[in-house]
Structure 1
């Protein structure tokens, strides 16, 4: 892609983003591309419907789970310094770490935290603590309330809990609060000059807030909760910044660990290790996992990616090493992921010439549905799967552990925790697509909408995977 082509990208982005904002798909959206020394950033719409503040090129937003790659980068810096061992048990560095299952934490290695293969069953665990001991409070709570989904290294399941434990591990090893360490060892050397970790800091500049559809009117309304609790900082609860900041971070990984300023943030060896496959479930809906990065195969091209949900918003960071390209975006409603997927796929196909293979060819009528029927559970979540009219039907129930958990999750979900039953059609044994979607939707980032079932024994699947997260048959 040359400068002329990048100008074409900018024109296309402006048209697509403006159309999405003006149609009501999303209130505001900002996206940027860096390629071969050239960079564009495009913004349109409204950052906050309550105030009418515009979405600008330098408007800040919550990184959400994109933070997990920043947290991994912090851990790798300490690995390089010999203060953390990737293959050391977490308890060797963090003796306080324990789970509700006796001795289960002792088997978890630092590597398992970063590769989402730790098995910690805490994806919806939201302790509400603030200040210097917030992450300590999170880890302390795991011992009494959270068990395991599988043996460490045995499977892959997207793990908020693993990243938060990694954040607490960093605090103990360095003696610094996570927010201070992030500012010192990532924000500053990378040149993320507009990034912060609190609402108090974000309010001093232009910052977007999330939005949800109002259940009564259907119209979008601003979120009632800006950030998740401070206990979720390393998993994506609190870091805030701009598209330019994320592009700078992506460029650092594109350049083998050297920031745009010329400062070395990571060794080339650490950057390469983060890109290596740590676990592959060999299922289209679950891309291979590196350390921190999800390794999306788009044909023969690998896209290092992480998306980040925040209350009423979603961010996305993609690094494409083969094409010297970084893409970052944020939209302030959960449905913005659809626009991000369209822009990414168009960027790959039209401007990089990447051929996207067809992942889902059509519905299979000959698949036996009975092995997948049953009840699946993970932390505070229940999925009941049945057969209705020749399709799988899933009913999701949130089962809060206490009033505080219910309050936080309800706000994070936009005021409601119930959803209508969802039907799925079989694509092949063990793999299902949500009914009513065109099959080509799943060729891009939205392959995460597919649902898979795993480890069928005696005619019954033991695990269900949706969005990279496992639930276990009960």
Structure 2
């Protein structure tokens, strides 16, 4: 006989199955899998196809690339070493990694351990893809920073989503523990959390049911499999290689619900460190960039905070959300990038309908008489250029990838399904410094997709110094 919560989760499962079936059919997302843990009960729902080339179905226990959700696992590993006394968050990284350097002399010396995992390090390496394999991959990545990557800002002065910071954190973990990152991840996270079906390589994943990513073929308008399963080993700690299941992610989320204690009762992280990860470490005070904890992004939905991280992989996207105030964890994966829209729909439904959380409007209206001239110009970060102009009274952005070499170009284009530049995107002003992509209803931005909003910061001499899109900064040149 079902208890009240069983009935509630039965309704949740039916709702997710209905939404996933409709979305997969209409939006060329071949497969989708999601799970919810709430107050002691758990459901997992799978829909569609894991691999269109083989016809393999998406199952409840199908594995998938965690993508940037891995960043919360990496941060948990860092805090485990803090608990053990091997690391101090306020120690310069170079104390443990004396070879860590950037193109600007002395810049790396200012970066503290906490800057790596709070995305406040300023390392300009978001699209730096050195192609190295094996146990020395992270060492090769850090070595490559010195001649390839500079800084966006002084450590602690700004917030910019940082793949480079997490990868340096992974190399730091190797140095202080003496273990390769993937071995440490398996020993100190997968094992004690109970992530029994998680792995760290394609070689391991091929031994079990595993989904692959897909992109929309512009000629046939159907989903085609990705040509690249994982990013290089150099991106492991940022989300390039770890693979898991929905049940595994729910177990990890439940560990953070329970103050660092896994569902099996194993202490993974101290209560103090678990709470520290959930505490605001930096807040840009801009609607398009939620406050950042350590590892977690802290999304405000009215009075409720959602600890979240999404993860892009070649042709796929995952998400993990933890709601400490409601004892709930939500995890999902879809094997086409467009699945992020479905994940946002389900999250908002869980909040408003299942939990009764009132979600206030983030953007209620646009503003007509905003001076657009401070935002015009060229903005750059690592291998990325954004040209901002005024067209028909709106801001227009043109984004172009400018590869550093053939290897970088190959990896990036395979990761994006062959795209090196986006079509021009126009933006309507919400207020000075904050813009929404034209053509979207404003209610879209109430949820996770507030990341689609663009903001401009640090006006000097009538010009913005930084553009912020999706939490990532580019700097005016």
What's the TM-score bracket when you normalise by the shorter of the two chains?
Answer: over 0.9
Determine if the alignment matches structure 1 residue 239 to structure 2 residue 269.
no
Bigger CA drift: 112-121 or 19-28?
19-28
> What's 1:287 paired with?
290
How far residue 2 of structure 1 moved from its aligned partner, in angstroms, is 2.5
> Aligned partners of 2:350, 2:248: CA distance in 1, in Å?
20
How far residue 217 of structure 1 moved from its aligned partner, in angstroms, is 2.2
> Aligned partners of 2:398, 2:308: CA distance in 1, in Å?
29
How far residue 215 of structure 1 moved from its aligned partner, in angstroms, is 2.7
Of 332, 335, 343, which residue of structure 1 is paired with 2:335?
332
Deviations 1:209-231 (A, max 9, x none): 00001132222100000000000
> What's 1:350 paired with?
353
Determine if the alignment matches structure 1 residue 263 to structure 2 residue 266.
yes
Bigger CA drift: 90-99 or 112-121?
90-99
> What's 1:322 paired with?
325
> What's 2:455 paired with?
452
- Any idea what SS the aligned residue of 1:260 has? coil
How far residue 457 of structure 1 moved from its aligned partner, in angstroms, is 1.2
> What's 1:364 paired with?
367
> What's 2:104 paired with?
101
Deviations 1:107-135 (A, max 9, x none): 00000000000000000000000011000
How far residue 18 of structure 1 moved from its aligned partner, in angstroms, is 1.0
- Any idea what SS the aligned residue of 2:336 has? coil
> Aligned partners of 1:261, 1:454: CA distance in 2, in Å?
46
Of 377, 399, 404, which residue of structure 2 is paired with 1:401?
404
How far residue 388 of structure 1 moved from its aligned partner, in angstroms, is 0.3
**Residues 20-419 of structure 1 mapped to structure 2, 5 A cutoff:** 20-419=23-422
Mapped contact 2:28–2:222 kept (Cα < 8 A): no
> Aligned partners of 1:184, 1:40: CA distance in 2, in Å?
27
How far residue 23 of structure 1 moved from its aligned partner, in angstroms, is 2.1
Bigger CA drift: 207-216 or 30-39?
207-216
TM-score (norm 2): 0.99
> What's 1:433 paired with?
436
Deviations 1:121-178 (A, max 9, x none): 0000000000110000000000001000000000000000000000000001111000
> Aligned partners of 1:218, 1:7: CA distance in 2, in Å?
35
> Aligned partners of 2:282, 2:24: CA distance in 1, in Å?
38
> What's 2:9 paired with?
6
Of 9, 16, 20, which residue of structure 2 is paired with 1:17?
20
Mapped contact 1:84–1:93 kept (Cα < 8 A): no
How far residue 255 of structure 1 moved from its aligned partner, in angstroms, is 0.3
Identify unmatched segments of 5+ residues in structure 1: none
How far residue 6 of structure 1 moved from its aligned partner, in angstroms, is 1.4
Deviations 1:223-257 (A, max 9, x none): 00000000000000000000000000000000000
- Any idea what SS the aligned residue of 2:76 has? helix
How far residue 93 of structure 1 moved from its aligned partner, in angstroms, is 1.1
Deviations 1:356-406 (A, max 9, x none): 111111221011111000000000000000000010000011110000000
Of 460, 467, 471, which residue of structure 2 is paired with 1:468?
471
> Aligned partners of 1:183, 1:359: CA distance in 2, in Å?
40
Moved over 4 A (4+): none
Aligned length: 474
- Any idea what SS the aligned residue of 1:2 has? helix
How far residue 22 of structure 1 moved from its aligned partner, in angstroms, is 2.1
Mapped contact 1:25–1:336 kept (Cα < 8 A): no
